[in-house]
């Protein structure tokens, strides 16, 4: 189990490094990283200086006391300089700089290339791409593709409880709040896969609500967009064909949509192009035959509390179903 999840994490991040935001890969995250390094450097310096002052104050040698008289004199300049003047200067400078970063990252300079809707659910991400006609709009889940180097607007809301959209290497968090439409934006500098995690406690499986943003060169992005817009083709392999029958005949179709079939449930993620995604269960597992079978057979084993029920299937039904799902490229 551990290696499966580690593999999923690697699949999401695209490399073995931590998703630290001290190293940005996007317009917003770059500026936030610089601001962050600055604040942390000041913080470290303050701690070191004051720590040394405290140590010196305690340990410094004093001439032996000649009387037991005490004095209440002296020391006020410490308060004025150390407690008021120096902090005021540092704080004012940091504040002005941070407010400028806030203003600079609030909205993109250019008009966004596209606007994507993200709707938070427990515990997955519904992603809707717009289009100029119904054939061009489509819904996917948990994996967002964007063109590199262009600003992309995100319209965020939630279907149940508050979630938070967070791709640390691209931008800071913006909450998904039921009843409210929040707008955020991202712009990736370089092509790659960027790890994301829900940033607001949302119940039992908050820990396993992850996603990926894939930034691609414009040509590849267009290709992906075209492929996603197409409905699922009829499968050629017999196993997959049998699997489609299982899908549409059983409970799967009650919650999931596969465009091009009768399955049009909206309670769970859209699976039309499931096989094009690198992970399943909101980033919890890599998208493989074995993982899919295990997930469908017993969702509670991986994500206790998840809302997807275990649908009882015969082994050959399960095998066929997974073959079908693996075919949904």
Partner 1 sequence: MATTAPAIPGRAPDERLHQIWETKPGLLGILGTVDHKEIGRRYLVTSFLFLIAGGLEAVVMRLQLTRSDLRLLQPEQYNQLFTMHGVTMIFWYAAPVLSGFSNFLWPLLIGARDMAFPRLNAYSYWTFLLSGIFLYSSALVGQVPDGGWFAYVPLTRDAFSPGLNMDFYALGLVFLTISTTAGAINFIVTLFKLRAPGMSINRIPLFMWGTLTNSFSVLFALPALTVACVMLYLDRGVGTRFFDPGGGGHPLLWQHLFWIFGHPWVYIIVLPAMGIVSHALPTFCRRPLVGYTTVALATVTTGILGFGVWVHHMFATGLPPLATSFFSAASFAITIPSAIAVFAWIATIWTGRPVVRTPFLFMVGFIVLFVIGGVSGVATAAAAFDQQLTDTYFVVAHIHYVLIGINLFPVVAGIYYWFPKITGRMMSERLGRWNFWTMFLGFNLGFFPMHIAGLLGMPRRIYTYPAGLGWDTVNLITTIGSFVFAAGVLLLVINVIYSRRRGLPAGPNPWDAYSLEWATSSPPPPYNFAVIPTVGSRHPLWEERLDEGGRSILSEGPALDEKGEKETVESSPLDSRLTDVLRMPEDTYYPFLHALAVMLTFYGLLLRSHRVAGVGLLLVALLTAGWLWPARRELREEE
Site residues (CB under 8 A) for partner 1, limited to 78-137: 78-79, 81-84, 87-88, 91-92, 94-95, 98-99, 101-103, 105-106, 122
Q: In the chain, what's the furthest Cα-to-Cα distance?
A: 101
Nearer to partner 1, 49 or 227 (CB): 49
Binding of partner 1 by 41 (CB under 8 A) = no
Residue 188 forms beta bridges with which residues? 26
Whether residue 123 has a cis bond before it, omega within 30° of 0: yes
Which residues in the 155-184 window bind partner 1 by CB under 8 A?
156, 160-162, 164, 166, 168, 171-175, 177-180, 182-184
Q: Is 191 exposed, middle or buried (0-12, 13-18, 19+ CB in 10 A)?
A: middle
Of the candidates 190, 201, 226, 267, which one interacts with partner 1 according to CB under 8 A? 201
Q: Which is nearer to partner 1, 62 or 111 (CB)?
A: 62
Is the CB of residue 152 less than 8 Å from the CB of residue 187?
yes
* Residues 217-236 contacting partner 1, CB under 8 A: none
Binding mask 268-307 for partner 1 (x = CB under 8 A): ------------------------------------xx--
> Could you identify the residue written with the tokens 């704080």?
91
> β-strands 114-121, 124-129: how paired?
antiparallel
The encoded tokens of residue 205 equal 């499986």
Distances (CA, A) of 272 to 7, 139, 141, 188, 256: 24, 9, 10, 26, 9
> Total number of residues binding partner 1 (CB under 8 A)?
100
According to CB under 8 A, which one of 25, 27, 30, 36 is a site residue for partner 1?
Answer: 36
Rounded Cα gap, residues 280 and 299, in angstroms: 11
Smallest gap from residue 79 Cβ to partner 1 (A): 5
174-176/114-121 β-pairing: unpaired
61 binds partner 1 (CB under 8 A): no
Q: For residues 91 and 100, what is the distance between their CA atoms, to the nearest angstrom?
A: 14
- Give the residue, chosen from 66, 69, 109, 110, that forms a contact with partner 1 under the rule CB under 8 A: 69
Nearer CB in complex with partner 1: 184/313: 184
| Binding flag, residue 237, partner 1 (CB under 8 A) | no
Point out which span in 129-137, 138-146, 190-198, 266-274 binds partner 1 (CB under 8 A): 190-198
Should residue 197 be labelled a site residue for partner 1 when binding is judged by CB under 8 A? Answer: yes
């Amino acid at each position: 189990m551990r290696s499966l999840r580690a593999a999923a994490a690697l699949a999401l991040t695209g490399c073995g490094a931590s998703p630290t935001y001290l190293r940005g890969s996007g317009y917003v995250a770059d500026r936030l990283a610089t601001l962050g390094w600055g604040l942390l450097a000041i913080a470290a310096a303050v701690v070191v200086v004051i720590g040394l002052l405290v140590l010196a104050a305690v340990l410094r040698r004093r001439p032996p006391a000649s009387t037991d008289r005490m004095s209440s004199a002296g020391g006020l300049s410490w308060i004025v300089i150390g407690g008021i003047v120096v902090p005021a200067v540092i704080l004012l400078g940091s504040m002005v700089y941070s407010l400028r970063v806030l203003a600079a990252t609030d909205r993109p300079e250019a008009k966004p290339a596209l606007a994507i809707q993200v709707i938070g659910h427990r515990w997955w991400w519904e992603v809707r791409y717009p289009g100029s006609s119904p054939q061009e709009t489509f819904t996917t889940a948990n994996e967002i593709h964007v063109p590199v180097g262009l600003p992309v607007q995100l319209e965020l809301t939630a279907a149940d409880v508050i979630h938070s959209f967070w791709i640390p290497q691209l931008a800071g968090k913006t909450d998904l709040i039921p009843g409210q439409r929040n707008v955020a934006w991202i712009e990736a500098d370089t092509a790659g896969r960027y790890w994301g995690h829900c940033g607001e406690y949302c119940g039992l499986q908050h820990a396993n609500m992850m996603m990926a943003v894939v930034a691609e060169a414009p040509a590849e992005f267009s290709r992906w967009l075209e492929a996603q817009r197409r409905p699922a083709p009829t499968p050629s392999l017999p196993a997959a064909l049998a699997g489609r029958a299982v899908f549409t005949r059983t409970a799967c179709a009650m919650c999931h949509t596969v465009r091009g079939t009768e399955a049009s449930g909206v309670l769970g993620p859209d699976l039309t192009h499931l096989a094009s995604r690198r992970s399943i269960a909101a980033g919890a597992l890599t998208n493989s035959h074995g993982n899919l079978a295990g997930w469908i057979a017993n969702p509670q084993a991986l994500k206790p509390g998840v809302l997807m029920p275990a649908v009882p299937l015969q082994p050959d039904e399960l095998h066929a179903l997974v073959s079908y799902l693996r075919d949904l490229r």
